Amino acid sequence: MPQPLFITFEGGEAAGKSTQTRLIAVYLAWQGYTVTRVAEPGSTRLGSRVRRLVKYGPMSITPLAETMLFLAARTQLVEEVINPALARGEAVVSDRFADSTLAYQGYGRGLDVADLRRLNDIATGGLLPDLTVLLDMPVEASVQRRKPRDTDRFESELPGENDRASDQSFHEKVRQGFLSLAQQAPEKWLVVDATLPRREVSRLIRARVSNL
């Protein structure tokens, strides 16, 4: 049976995660893997409901309630999809995973990062990725790439053209949070400049994955 492989992609809004997860899935399939591609929150029935609530739910959601929703979606995804796929020796590629909670709800919303690590640990049963790819990009670049018609709760916190520099703080904190997580465990993370051409980003990711 092939060695199972678990790769996660993280980053801010509009960093190109879905394109790059698709490209690496094609590469891994070409290497002989059966590949399961998932996105958080989502990829289960519960996850899809949670996705709609946290992205477009019209009601106010406190940071802790928001965290619990992401964790509920994550634990369902791990038990229902990720663990069974890894047990079959597959490669699993996930668009976001536990580090998004540390960056958004921890560094971004200000919840205690050590508490969030413990909650993540419970939700995932201690499952950790073999590699996390951070698609890093300045917040201003996200603003420019964002499709204005499809603004969700998180994107609505991106600064607009007329906002003061201080309004950038939520997404700037999230970005710095991801960079700090990557710095704490460089052997587990690959940080890629997401403003590079798509093909170059993909080449850098493939080079690191082929070393795993």
The site for ligand TMP (CB under 6 A) is made up of: 13, 39-41, 54-55, 70, 96, 100-101, 104-105, 154
Least distance from C-beta 104 to ligand TMP, angstroms? 3
Helix axes 17-30, 198-210, angle to 10 degrees: 50
**Maximum alpha-carbon separation in the chain:** 56
Instruction: Give the nearest distance from C-beta 29 to ligand TMP in angstroms.
Output: 22
Q: How far is the CB of 89 from ligand TMP (least distance, A)?
A: 26
Measure CA 104 to chain center.
10
Between residues 16 and 33, which has the closer beta carbon with respect to ligand TMP? 16
Report whether 36 contacts 5 (CB < 8 A): no
CB of 36 or CB of 120, closer to ligand TMP? 120
State in angstroms the smallest separation of the CB of 39 from ligand TMP.
6
Question: How would you list the strands of the sheet with 189-193, edge to edge?
Answer: 35-39, 91-95, 5-11, 131-136, 189-193
Helices (H), 8-112: 17-30, 45-56, 63-77, 83-87, 98-100
Whose tokens are 């580090």? That residue is 99
